[in-house]
Copies of this chain bind each other. A is one copy, B any other.
């Protein structure tokens, strides 16, 4: 009998810097216990009934206030739709707004499981170039002028895997292109609130002149993945398309019980306090990761210091292959995500993604020390 609880099941000795999940020791069990007592003690059983398709109005009201504070721009609760996490939200958008065979554009690199999600929906995925400021807008304009995509999927802030943030100017232009060429934008903004140095540009919902910009958020990165709770911020007309689906009509709102408990976390202030704690811990880990990289890795690796989110994206020394390196690394009990996993065409084999939130600073440093030794060894062997 397999009594596993979590998705991840790593050997104790392994330091897997490829894992893109929160540190279990930071998951706020006590806060959620308090929130559950608060909400379930209120005596309103309607939170246990089939929920309204858009999501509990009181919860959306609280979420809107929480987001307005974090986003530094007003969020209207009528523009929020409650999901069972970012993935479920994106899958529902695909169900409602695409047909099998449709072309969609993604960034190169992009979130690797989004690629698989779109493949499961039988969409034709095309990768577009990016740089340190996010998606290349000239390339996008050229491509949408040639082929109208069903949507463009981007991670505008603290990108997974690249860490890059789309500039305000490019956001503005993306909004205008969406209007001119009539395509949807799915902005996966799950890292937006995890900002460690300075404020990122406003979320994509602020550049929604087309009415076709859909912002996807989640409690997975700021509270707990196991809740399966997130939101979509979009124009009410678009939300009506989502709530009209049979999936919503039959099951009702996507996560009413958990919504109600998280509502109490927002009301009691524990969600905001937890977010501030995460920012303090994660930003320190990002700094310590960078120090370890400078201490243990060859000078010829190229990376930007993380400004937020979960990840650091690194170009390996010229000619070094991430898949080959990974094989060697695993034998030394360290692991990472090779860059080609994030490519629509299997490119980027010279890059790797490192996550700095799952492990403590000590473990991160030990992992990078091991990685440095493996890289040194692999260069020696290749120069033989």
A-to-B contact residues, CB < 8 Å: 1-9, 21-22, 24-25, 27-30, 32-33, 36-37, 40-41, 43-54, 56-58, 61, 77-78, 84-88, 91, 95, 100, 113-114, 116-117, 119-120, 122, 220, 224-228, 245-247, 249-258, 260-261
Q: Identify 19 residue pairs between A and B in the complex whose beta-carbon atoms are under 8 Å apart, listed by A's number.
A: A1-B77, A8-B50, A24-B45, A24-B48, A29-B40, A29-B45, A29-B48, A33-B37, A50-B220, A84-B251, A84-B255, A87-B247, A87-B250, A116-B249, A116-B250, A117-B250, A226-B253, A226-B260, A258-B258
Whether A49 contacts B6 in the complex (CB less than 8 A), given A1-B57, A33-B37, A120-B95, comes out as yes
Whether A84 contacts B84 in the complex (CB less than 8 A), given A6-B49, A7-B50, A117-B250, comes out as yes
Count of this chain's copies in the oligomeric assembly: 2
Q: Name the contact of A252 in the complex, choosing from B7, B51, B100, B246 (C-beta under 8 A).
A: B7
Residues of B within 8 A of A44 (CB): 5, 29
Residues of B within 8 A of A33 (CB): 36-37, 40-41
Given A86-B251, A116-B249, A255-B255, 7 further pairs, Cβ under 8 A = A7-B51, A8-B50, A25-B45, A36-B37, A50-B220, A100-B100, A117-B247
Whether A21 contacts B50 in the complex (CB less than 8 A), given A117-B247, A228-B251, comes out as yes
CA A37 – CA B261 in complex, angstroms? 13
Whether A57 contacts B3 in the complex (CB less than 8 A), given A29-B43, A250-B87, comes out as yes
CA A359 – CA B371 in complex, angstroms? 65
Residues of B within 8 A of A29 (CB): 40, 43-45, 48
Q: Name the contact of A257 in the complex, choosing from B25, B28, B258 (C-beta under 8 A).
A: B258
Whether A228 contacts B246 in the complex (CB less than 8 A), given A2-B57, A7-B50, comes out as no
Contact at B41–A246, with CB atoms within 8 Å? no
Residues of B within 8 A of A246 (CB): 87, 113, 116-117, 119-120
Q: Name the contact of A8 in the complex, choosing from B30, B40, B49, B250 (C-beta under 8 A).
A: B49
CA A251 – CA B53 in complex, angstroms? 21
Q: Name the contact of A57 in the complex, choosing from B4, B84, B249 (C-beta under 8 A).
A: B4
Residues of B within 8 A of A43 (CB): 29
Q: Name the contact of A51 in the complex, choosing from B28, B50, B114, B226 (C-beta under 8 A).
A: B226
Q: Name the contact of A84 in the complex, choosing from B6, B25, B228 (C-beta under 8 A).
A: B228
Q: Could you tell me the distance in whole angstroms from the C-beta of A66 to the nearest C-beta in chain B?
A: 16
Q: Name the contact of A47 in the complex, choosing from B48, B120, B122, B226 (C-beta under 8 A).
A: B226
Q: Name the contact of A255 in the complex, choosing from B220, B224, B228 (C-beta under 8 A).
A: B228
Whether A256 contacts B226 in the complex (CB less than 8 A), given A3-B57, A61-B1, comes out as yes
Q: Could you tell me the distance in whole angstroms from the C-beta of A253 to the nearest C-beta in chain B?
A: 7
Residues of B within 8 A of A41 (CB): 33
Contact at A3–B58, with CB atoms within 8 Å? yes
Q: Could you tell me the distance in whole angstroms from the C-beta of A159 to the nearest C-beta in chain B?
A: 16
Contact at B120–A257, with CB atoms within 8 Å? no
Contact at A49–B249, with CB atoms within 8 Å? no
Residues of B within 8 A of A3 (CB): 57-58, 61
